[in-house]
Amino acid sequence: MIRNYLIIALRNFQRQKLFALLNMFGLALGLASAILIFLYISDELLYDTMHPYYNNTYRVGCVFTNTEGQEFDNTVAPGYWIKQLKDTRTEIEQAVRIDYIGYPTSFHHKATDKIILTEEVRWAEPGFDKVLLFDLLKGNREKMFQDYNSLVVSETGARKLFGDADPIGQTVTVKHTWATDGKEIDVVVTGVYRDYPSNSHFKPHYIINVNALRSVRENFDAYMEGTTFRNSEFFECYIVVKPSADVKPIEEALQGWSNEMARSDSAFVAGGWKLRPFLAKLSAIHFDQKTLWENGIRGDKKYLAIFSSVAFLILLIACINYMNLATARSARRAKEVGLRKSLGSKRREIAWQFFSESVLMTLGSLVIAIILVIIFLQPFNQLAHKSFTLASLLNPYMLLVVLGVVIFMSLVSGSYPALYLSAFKPVEMLKGKMVKGIGAELFRKGLVTVQYAVSLVLIISTFIVVRQMEHMQNTKLNEQGSQLLSIRYGGTAPQDKFAAFKQAVLQDKDIEHVTMANHLPRLNYFGWIGTTLKFPELNDKDLQWNQLNVEFDFAKTYQLEFIAGRDFDVNNPADSGAMILNEAAVKVLDQPIEKIIGATVAEVNNDNNGIARSYKVIGIVKDFPFRSMHQAIEPLVLNPHVHFIDRIAYIKLPTGHFQEKIQSIEKKWREIFPGVGFDYWFVSDEFNRMYLAESRVSSLAKSFAILAILITALGVFGLASYTAEQKTKEVGIRKVLGAAVRQVVGMFVWGFLKILLIAALIAIPLAYFLADNWLADFAYRSAISPVVFIISLVGLMVITLLTVSYETWKAARANPVKSLRSE
């Protein structure tokens, strides 16, 4: 019987090649989209689960609380705590300290004079590989950290530093402003390890034995295990506890040691600070919405729910397509059903026949879908910022997901055609009459209404997400972000040579602006760079405000808008004692602008319990976002004295010939700063990094909205085909009675426009509600314009007209004699 079903199914596919292809392609698009979305979701849900004891591994963090009750979460903890845990707690099976010190580390391979600057570095104590994933490809695992001055590199790290040469045994000179105190340390490469997967929070390209710091740290033991906050280093601390161990007693023990350290630190006590340790489970830290454990990357289950919904909706409209296209061809199968029933076939057997066709169609679609996934996997990686390979599709989780999706699509897409077609009455079918129930007609139109509504919601939502992304990207700092070259300066190059470098760069007549300021924009994990100020002539409050340390020509380079006063003047030495405020600062002062301009600003030096320096306010600039637009713009001052370490050189390049200009700048850099690495990026790159999650949503939304439109167009084509087939004789009668072709076409088109308008009544309020909720997370949001809804509706209307035009025109041009011959 099954063999018979398959033969009949294959014959039907061969007889109706176009519709079989449309059916299969529509299902394949839905299936491929779902596979890619679920691949992304599974990757996020499996974050950090590749580590050997992820279920029992915890990160130690701590929360600092000041006298005003403000809390500051930290993902690091004193190394002393790990020593105490190892010595006193029997629940602890493994514990390791890993130091991550901000700012790039310089790696100089003197044999080839290759210098790179990178922040993808960790200083780890031996034994880290027993707690975290570590897949060593070259070298001896037991001996790799036997010598203090040892370094292991990832595959990517090895290529960056050594090219195709064998890294093992190579000597590299390492230097870091703080870690090595600016001194050079020679380390030897003892191993090469496989790159960490993208869904691991721990993925450095260079891991150095922390004992290498013994040669540059006077008191290395205090650095590792100091008993006061002032002389102890704070590490990324990992502990592995025994299965089912209660971590609450461990947190209580940590609190006890924290209190001991606080009591022995007079400055900590005098400042009124409090510290509370906490443990965070390794498998949960990616979705921790309070503490940012990985630089710039945080998972959000809300977005996973959105993507899951999108996958479900795309699958649904793909299944609806199959239903409509299958029933659209019902007239071709009617006599077959009638004949089989008259020969004794039961409805159940006929239903199984059509259902088996659906399963076969879905399996064929799966083959096409896998081909599509393979073709679009790399573009999808770029959109989603992932590193999936074909092997990712073969993990057991994904195989179960694909199996579930195939079963779901077979059941949903095959159920209605099987029940509908198997219900045909044999006498009517053999007489050539079609089943024309009002309920069945309404059901089919309802399915297309759902398709339209889903597509419209996706289109409108995509427009709003894209508008918000443009709103965030087109801020004052990023207006010319693609032209503003940022060069790492602080901690690498000497400040006293910056003037010479600036002058050398400005010799290029195409370059007008070179300046220096803090690292912009301020990403979420950057430290606070504020200051405490007083305005003695205006009030007596201590004000903790954000501060940017800038060169005199910073405002000109970024084209900041002044609403009062003036900019710094390089020819006016007195301006070294001047300050510029933003509008938010003016609002807090609550004084007339005329009174603020010229007011004295006293910088409070908390270390000396007194006033450090005085300034005069010379200008007010219009507010500009210097942090994420999820946060409100706070009071800000521009201080004309560059930061002691957080210094980035900014060069505004002319449009075009970027690589040529960068090569010229790098050549001048190497002449003025021999032995110093040249690390650069564009300001726009940092804005992209800051809005990584939103950019991911925007890119994926655009892709899947296009897919939804394409699948819906196939569904509309199916309904148009079905309608034309059902109304063959009606069209013939109308034409005999004198109806013009345009009138017949209008009749068909109006039927579809009614469905679209009904869908719009559902989709527009729903899309507005969803968009409004999503935008609520932003302090500064783009307006939800009616134009978005109009463009989306008109666009879908045009797609509908183009889709139905072929079938309606063909039906309208048909010879009425042929249409009515059987009557």
Cβ proximity of 220 and 181 under 8 Å: no
The confidence band for 598, taking pLDDT boundaries of 50, 70 and 90, is very high
Q: Which residues of 288-325 are buried (b: 16+ CB within 10 A; e: fewer)?
A: beeebbbbebbbeeebbebbeebbebbbbbbbbbbbbb
How confident is the model at residue 628, as a pLDDT?
A: 83
Residues above pLDDT 90, as percent of the chain: 47
According to DSSP, the β-strands at 206-209 and 121-124 are: parallel
Least confident of 169-183, 614-628, 713-727: 713-727
Least confident of 377-391, 438-452, 667-681, 736-750: 736-750
User: Is residue 607 pLDDT above 50, yes or no?
Assistant: no
**What is the average per-residue pLDDT within 380-388?**
85
**What is the average per-residue pLDDT within 336-365?**
73
Nearest C-alpha neighbor of 770 from the set 367, 250, 306: 306
Nearest C-alpha neighbor of 371 from the set 135, 29, 140: 29
Q: Which residue has the higher pLDDT, 674 or 397?
A: 674
Nearest C-alpha neighbor of 104 from the set 486, 478, 674: 486
Least confident of 213-217, 411-415, 438-442: 438-442
Q: Which residue has the higher pLDDT, 338 or 776?
A: 776
Alpha carbon of residue 708 to chain centroid:
21
User: Is residue 5 pLDDT above 70, yes or no?
Assistant: no
Residues above pLDDT 70, as percent of the chain: 85
Distance CA 160, CA 207 (A): 15
Residue found under tokens 């003016």: 586
The confidence band for 390, taking pLDDT boundaries of 50, 70 and 90, is confident
Alpha carbon of residue 199 to chain centroid:
12
User: Is residue 331 pLDDT above 60, yes or no?
Assistant: no
Amino acid at position 37, single letter: I
The confidence band for 431, taking pLDDT boundaries of 50, 70 and 90, is low
Q: Which of 237-246, 391-400, 527-536 has the highest mean pLDDT?
A: 237-246
CA angle (156, 238, 303) in 5-degree steps: 70
How confident is the model at residue 731, as a pLDDT?
A: 65
The confidence band for 8, taking pLDDT boundaries of 50, 70 and 90, is low
Q: Show Cβ contacts of residue 819 under 8 Å, excluding neighbours closer than 6 positions.
A: 728, 729, 731, 732, 735
Q: What is the mean pLDDT of the chain?
A: 85
- HEC secondary structure over 24-84: HHHHHHHHHHHHHHHHHHHHHHCCCCCCCCCCCEEEEEEEEECCCCCEEEECCEEHHHHHH
Amino acid at position 563, single letter: I
How confident is the model at residue 2, as a pLDDT?
A: 59
CA angle (39, 773, 32) in 5-degree steps: 20
User: Is residue 432 pLDDT above 60, yes or no?
Assistant: no
The confidence band for 410, taking pLDDT boundaries of 50, 70 and 90, is confident
User: Is residue 424 pLDDT above 50, yes or no?
Assistant: yes
According to DSSP, the β-strands at 184-193 and 171-175 are: antiparallel
How confident is the model at residue 353, as a pLDDT?
A: 73
Least confident of 218-227, 439-448, 614-623, 632-641: 439-448
How confident is the model at residue 332, as a pLDDT?
A: 60
Residues 111/115/116/121 CA torsion (nearest 10 deg): 60
How confident is the model at residue 823, as a pLDDT?
A: 47
Q: Which residue has the higher pLDDT, 613 or 599?
A: 599
C-alpha distances (whole Å) from 392 to each of 28, 163, 387, 395, 399 are 19, 28, 9, 6, 10
The length of the chain is 823
DSSP category for residue 200? -
User: Is residue 595 pLDDT above 90, yes or no?
Assistant: yes
**What is the average per-residue pLDDT within 799-821?**
68
**What is the average per-residue pLDDT within 283-309?**
84
User: Is residue 820 pLDDT above 80, yes or no?
Assistant: no
Q: Which residues of 215-247 are buried (b: 16+ CB within 10 A; e: fewer)?
A: ebbeeeebbbbbbbbeebbbbbbbbbbeeebeb
User: Is residue 819 pLDDT above 80, yes or no?
Assistant: no
How confident is the model at residue 655, as a pLDDT?
A: 86
The confidence band for 609, taking pLDDT boundaries of 50, 70 and 90, is very low
Q: Show Cβ contacts of residue 468 under 8 Å, excluding neighbours closer than 6 positions.
A: 694, 775, 778, 781, 782
User: Is residue 429 pLDDT above 70, yes or no?
Assistant: no
| The two structure tokens encoding residue 55 | 């279920």
**What is the average per-residue pLDDT within 752-773?**
91
Distance CA 463, CA 775 (A): 13
CA angle (729, 733, 736) in 5-degree steps: 135
Q: Which residue has the higher pLDDT, 455 or 487?
A: 487
Distance CA 655, CA 262 (A): 55
What is the sign of the dihedral through the CA atoms of 517, 522, 528 and 534?
positive
**What is the average per-residue pLDDT within 322-349?**
66
- Identify the bridge partners of residue 297 per DSSP, sorted by sequence position: 294
Q: Is the peptide bond before 521 cis (omega within 30 degrees of 0)?
A: yes
Q: Which residue has the higher pLDDT, 307 or 130?
A: 130
Cβ proximity of 748 and 722 under 8 Å: no
Q: Which residue has the higher pLDDT, 466 or 548?
A: 548
DSSP per-residue string spanning 601-639:
EEEEEGGGTEEEEEEEEEEEE----SS-TTSPPPPEEEE
- Residues 43-47: contacts with CB within 8 Å, 24+ apart? 43/198, 43/199, 43/386, 43/388, 43/392, 44/199, 44/286, 44/299, 44/304, 45/304, 46/199, 46/397, 47/199, 47/200, 47/201, 47/283, 47/286, 47/287, 47/299
**What is the average per-residue pLDDT within 762-787?**
89
Least confident of 30-34, 328-332, 339-343: 328-332
How confident is the model at residue 767, as a pLDDT?
A: 93
Least confident of 226-235, 681-690, 710-719: 710-719
Distance CA 515, CA 143 (A): 48
Phi and psi, residue 120, nearest 5°: -85, 55
**What is the average per-residue pLDDT within 191-201?**
94
Residue found under tokens 């463009």: 791
**What is the average per-residue pLDDT within 520-529?**
78
pLDDT in tens, 255-265: 999 999 988 87
Nearest C-alpha neighbor of 357 from the set 23, 32, 647, 662: 23
Distance CA 361, CA 372 (A): 16
Q: Show Cβ contacts of residue 384 under 8 Å, excluding neighbours closer than 6 positions.
A: 40, 696, 699, 700
**What is the average per-residue pLDDT within 469-490?**
86
Residue found under tokens 């314009």: 785
**What is the average per-residue pLDDT within 564-580?**
94
Phi and psi, residue 187, nearest 5°: -125, 155
The confidence band for 608, taking pLDDT boundaries of 50, 70 and 90, is very low
Nearest C-alpha neighbor of 715 from the set 194, 321, 329: 321
Least confident of 89-93, 320-324, 390-394, 616-620: 320-324
How confident is the model at residue 821, as a pLDDT?
A: 59
Against a cut of 0.85, is the pTM above it?
Answer: no
